[in-house]
A and B are shown apart, each in its own frame.
Chain A
Amino acid sequence: MKGYEFLEHTADVFFRAYGGTAEEMLESSASALIASMIDPSTVREEESWKVELEAESLEDLAYDWLSELVFLFDSERAVFSRFEVSLDGNWRLDATVWGERIDRKRHLFDCEVKAVTLHKFQVKRDDRWTLQAVLDV
């Protein structure tokens, strides 16, 4: 059920991420965000970060979640490999993010995500949960 795929976009990164639950979808979209920049197998689990967010809808929360990861990546100079998300019914998110500080000798980045755009940003539910987003790189 969990996973992601990259779609064609001329200048930026366009992805769809899936999950059997909303939590899984948020975790796989976080994985997609990292995979758009770097081979995730080169990232070790050495440190963890806590993320707590609250929003007015699941879509807003999903946008905040991915934007928060971009912020953590840029401000902590860290890259992530594993995510554990829990949600409560009031669109509150509690998450733990595992990864390590960027090591410029070991971490080869294809590109750098600057931000998450709202263009085509969508969360939907049918037989599974899907999030699609365009990342500005």
Chain B
Amino acid sequence: MLKKIDDNIFELSMDHRPGMRVPGRIFVSDALLEMVEPGTIDQVANVATLPGIVKYSMAMPDAHLGYGFPIGGVAAFREDGGVISPGGVGFDINCGVRLLRTGLSHESVIPRMAELLDSLFHEIPSGVGSKSRLRVSERELSEVFHTGARWAVEQGYGVEADLEHCEENGALDGADPSQVSVKARKRGRPQLGTLGSGNHFLEIQRVEKIYDEAIAERFGLFEGEVTVMIHCGSRGAGHQICTDHLLYLNRAVQKYKIDLPDKQLACAPLGTPEAENYFGAMASAANYAWANRQIIGHWTGDVFRRYFGDLEMRLVYDVAHNVAKLEEHEVDGQRMRLCVHRKGATRAFGPGRAEVPEAYRDVGQPVLIPGSMGTPSYVLCGSTRALDLTFGSACHGSGRIMSRTQAKKTYAGREVMASLERLGIKVMATQPAILAEEAPQVYKPSGDVVDVVHNLGIARKVAQLVPLGVAKG
């Protein structure tokens, strides 16, 4: 049973299904709750049955139906007796978002938007079957798995300061490329430096509104400034790593006698070889994704520099939204190391945490929330309240409400393109059907989702960014 316990907080009681070890917590407004499918609530309950789960099985305001965890799911497990599960990370390991600021005002960019977007679309490979401009050797691929964004910077893709502005400095400790299969390497090697397809995108934006002047200034954002947001992940490497370890962890489930409500929640007790191996492989994929975004970000900079001269494009921040990590949190007054899973959720650490880059440490980390092609994206700032409520987590987007099949029946790609054009948003995609599937109407309104996060105080609004040009895979 779902019970409202405060504004924007609903509790799912432990009688929702047998085996729940903790209650669920769904962070939504009354209006957004109506858009949460019953299947999503069942998935919150399924996660609550996993061994060693601490406090609550949580869902962020953009929650929707996933596989295993719901999308927007957050759960933390104690080191002793808890588990790690690929169902809480997903196939696109370290799918994430990075935001670059250009220092350019939109007046100087608008006249050249069409050709700028065209160059970005053609120079940054995207879509099914696309080939990277980059050729890496097997040895270099291992380096990517080990050192993530650092590898890219060492090859000349970006600068040292970029690393300080990535979650985990662009590389998760504990990567073990020996746990990455030949198949995963084969898929990953030609795809490093590609955007992918589906909901992945590269977007040119304008800072439309500033909510907090002081923090916006700290993040380097001003009204009217042009920014670039990049959303992509670990490509075929991550997808294959998850596939391989899912089968392997299914055998661990039998070995460790764990009773699962959903096979996608396959897991292993933390500290066992199966858990360590999955973590080592997952971290390799996470690092691949950071290198990928670093390279794509650098190429984006190259295009901008060609049009606008020697401008200094800076990385505001880069966040992961599909990942499991070991973090310290306070539970019932005690500091504990927990394995925090965020499946379609963003870390939102507040001031003071050592994980927040020094430049932002006294204000909290930037939290990047993309909208859809036609609705604004938001930059928020993490808060201490998030640490109390959600293990330092916030939403990761707007959340889908309409299936892809329904979207294609309802909208035509060309019409979506024309209506965005009327709003002053230029869109390029490998084919029109992609635009129908990703039409703004298939998502919840991004502002409503972000308001829940803001009103709960788990992250505070800093700036609103509106799309000017979008390149889709």
Contacts and interface: CB of A to CB of B under 8 A. Distances in A.
B129 A117 contact: no
* Chain B interface SS verdict (over half): mixed
Nearest to B438: A111
Interface core residue of B64, B196, B406, B433 (most chain A CB under 10 Å): B433
B108 interface: no
B91 A114 contact: yes
Contact of B431 (A10, A12, A108): A108
Interface string A107-137: 1111110111111110000000000001011
Interface string B380-410: 0000000000000000000011111110100
Interface string A60-72: 1001100100110
Question: Interface size for chain A: under 10, 10 to 19, 20 to 34, or 35 or more residues?
Answer: 35 or more
B197 A104 contact: no
Contacts of A118: 67, 246, 250, 262-264, 266
B102 interface: no
Given A8-B405, A13-B404, A111-B198, A77 B66 contact: no
B37 interface: yes
Contacts, number: 116
B272 interface: no
B92 A75 contact: no
Nearest to A12: B67
B206 to A, nearest CB: 29
A133 to B, nearest CB: 10
Contacts of B408: 110
Interface core residue of A11, A67, A110 (most chain B CB under 10 Å): A11
Given A109-B431, A118-B266, A9 B240 contact: no
Interface residues of B, number: 48
A54 B297 CA distance: 42
Interface of B: 37, 64-68, 71, 87, 90-92, 127-131, 183, 186-187, 196-198, 236, 239-240, 242-243, 246-247, 250, 262-264, 266, 400-406, 408, 430-431, 433-434, 437, 473
23 contacts: A9-B403, A10-B65, A11-B66, A11-B403, A11-B404, A70-B239, A71-B240, A75-B183, A75-B186, A75-B236, A77-B129, A102-B128, A104-B130, A107-B129, A110-B408, A111-B198, A112-B196, A114-B236, A117-B91, A118-B250, A120-B67, A136-B90, A137-B198
B240 to A, nearest CB: 7
